[in-house]
Amino acid sequence: VLGISTGGPAALSKVIPKLSARFPIPILVVQHMPAGFTKHLADTLNNNSKIQVVEGVHGMKVKPGQVVIAPGGHHMSISGSRIAPQVTLDEGPMVNGARPAVDRLFESAAKMYSHRTLGVIMTGMGTDGLQGCRTIKGAGGFCVSQDQASSVVYGMPKAVAEAGLSDEVVSLADMDNRLQMLASRVAR
């Protein structure tokens, strides 16, 4: 699972297109964006990537080798079972001033995948993702945050790093390689 905000589309365009079409786990993304913009982001990334990128639809199956971007205006979470996970969307109250909220996605992932959860916090304003990373770490999962030098706004990743929840702090230039390596480890 990946959470990102300010500077996100540019950062995602430097990471997602470099991922293998056979990426071993699904990637669910919360990008703080209003309704209408996330579909264009998903389509643009999909057209420039080997891995499939789609905007999330309520009830869709979650599968390895796929990036699912939360639609603007909707919280996205993972439900179902580990064998048949699916996307759940809702228009519940804003969390951390956002809908979609990173915390909602991360908490559902930790509940579903426990110690096999990989949480990534990238550039963005505020602290959304902090509680989600705390939940992932509490379940035995692994968290990565983007470094200050390569973040457009070092808010969300800073909150996670300063709380001692980052297992690794990674530059934008190295993010695709680290994700590929960590995903292979988690998929086993």
Q: Which of 49, 77, 108, 128 is catalytic?
A: 128
Are 118 and 140 within 8 A, CB to CB? no
Q: Can you tell me the distance from the alpha carbon of 113 to that of 141, in angstroms, rounded to the nearest whole number?
A: 8
Is-catalytic flag, 74? no
Sequence length of the chain is: 188
Q: Which of 32, 108, 147, 150 is catalytic?
A: 32
pLDDT at 186: 87
pLDDT at 87: 98
Q: Can you tell me the distance from the alpha carbon of 150 to that of 182, in angstroms, rounded to the nearest whole number?
A: 20
| Domains along the sequence of the chain with CATH | 2-187 (3.40.50.180)
Q: Can you tell me the distance from the alpha carbon of 8 to that of 69, in angstroms, rounded to the nearest whole number?
A: 12
Q: Which of 5, 49, 108, 166 is catalytic?
A: 5
In this prediction the pTM is 0.97
Task: Give pLDDT < 50 ranges for the chain.
Answer: none
pLDDT at 73: 97
pLDDT at 156: 99
